[in-house]
Structure 1
Amino acid sequence: MKKNSKLLIGLFIGIMVLSGVIGFAAINKGFSKDSNTSENIDKITKVFKKDEIKDKKTLEAYQKVHEMANTKIIAEDGLIWGEIEPTTEKIDLLIKEVCSSNYEDKDKLLQILNRWKSGDFSNCVEEHNFVWKKLGGEVGKASKLREGVK
């Protein structure tokens, strides 16, 4: 009986370790085209080190604008971190939120959102990179618009 318990525990631990290794490899492959693991971990860490914006509500608003912009751009390194389709309803909600805020870049954000609301995404590379930088961006900088974006 004790032998079977030890065998089952050993098997369970082996499966967990193997799952972790496979999961790490899959995540690592998805984040970078390189095979340099140390460099990939540094990139991932920098992406989640949002040191430009401290307030959670402000951070969430910038992140929404960023993810909307992600649907219209191509990143120079091919890395896109989240997408939210910029529908009129979602843009209106964000405009309402920004209007009632005291964000440092309130006017700039409203200009961006109102331009998008009218269907103009022609400046989305610059707009993406503006909010991306505010979010402490290190990877995923926009280089050009996706094909067909106006």
Structure 2
Amino acid sequence: MKKLIAVIVVGIILAGGIFTYNVLSSLEQKVAKQDNVETASAENEKTKRLNEASHENENGVTTEARFQEKLHNMTHQKVDSNDKWGERRITEERIDNMLQTLDEQTTYQNEKFYQEALTAWDNGNFENSVEVHNKIWSMQEGTVGRATGLLTEEEEQEYIEENFSEEG
């Protein structure tokens, strides 16, 4: 009788272990699948934005979406964010070119915002970089990668070295 009880107890323990293993494996697969869906969704959003932003109009003039993407990518050099997609080094020449584009282009919906941001940068003041980043991030309906603050000089230098080493 004791052997029968022992066999039943062992059987119940094994069945419980197998059941628990199957439940945990199923949950693990669901979480992994959800992570993959979220990652794919974020990548699709990023690709869509980059594709939309790469267009020029029929006259070869930079569209507002492309201009906005360039400015957004430049902010990455200055801001702290857990995710950054795209980088464009801030240079005096790029700032001047973008200001010139604004002078020539009067149809941008957010022209005044871009003008104010770039004018501050042209004067060496990058304190608005978090605001610029997050405003464009919001315009692009960003879901991850909100800027949380400015990088320190050391962090910015590290970012430059990691992302623009070929430029010096």
Do they fold alike, i.e. is TM over 0.5?
Answer: yes
Work out whether 1:71 is the aligned partner of 2:92: no
SS of residue in 2 equivalent to 1:84: coil
Alpha-carbon distance in structure 2 between the residues aligned to 1:54 and 1:65 = 11
Q: Equivalent residue for 1:47? A: 46
Alpha-carbon distance in structure 1 between the residues aligned to 2:113 and 2:76 = 18
Alpha-carbon distance in structure 1 between the residues aligned to 2:138 and 2:43 = 16
Q: Equivalent residue for 2:138? A: 133
Alpha-carbon distance in structure 2 between the residues aligned to 1:99 and 1:133 = 25
Amino acid at match of 1:112: A
SS of residue in 2 equivalent to 1:121: coil
Work out whether 1:109 is the aligned partner of 2:114: yes
- TM-score normalized by structure 1? 0.66
SS of residue in 1 equivalent to 2:148: strand
Alpha-carbon distance in structure 2 between the residues aligned to 1:55 and 1:146 = 27
Alpha-carbon distance in structure 1 between the residues aligned to 2:66 and 2:39 = 25
Amino acid at match of 1:88: E
- TM-score normalized by structure 2? 0.60
Report sequence identity in percent: 26
Amino acid at match of 1:123: N
Deviation for aligned residue 1:36: 2.0
Q: How has the CA–CA distance of structure 1 residues 54 and 94 changed in structure 2, closer, same or farther, with 3 Å as cutoff? A: closer
Q: How many pairs are equivalent?
A: 111
Q: Equivalent residue for 1:80? A: 84
- After superposition, the C-alpha distances for 1:17-66 in whole angstroms (9 at most, x for unaligned) are xxxxxxxxxxxxxxxxxx9212211222233344xx88931111001100
Structure index of larger Rg: 2
Q: How has the CA–CA distance of structure 1 residues 81 and 55 changed in structure 2, closer, same or farther, with 3 Å as cutoff? A: closer
Amino acid at match of 1:98: L
Deviation for aligned residue 1:113: 0.3
Deviation for aligned residue 1:112: 0.1
Q: Equivalent residue for 1:97? A: 101
SS of residue in 2 equivalent to 1:104: coil
Q: How has the CA–CA distance of structure 1 residues 49 and 139 changed in structure 2, closer, same or farther, with 3 Å as cutoff? A: farther
Q: Tell me, which stretches of 5 or more residues in structure 1 are unaligned? A: 1-34
- State whether residues 59 and 135 of structure 1, in contact with CA within 8 Å, keep that contact through their aligned partners in structure 2: no
Root-mean-square deviation (CA), in Å?
2.2
SS of residue in 2 equivalent to 1:36: helix
Alpha-carbon distance in structure 1 between the residues aligned to 2:132 and 2:95 = 15
- State whether residues 72 and 124 of structure 1, in contact with CA within 8 Å, keep that contact through their aligned partners in structure 2: yes
Work out whether 1:124 is the aligned partner of 2:129: yes
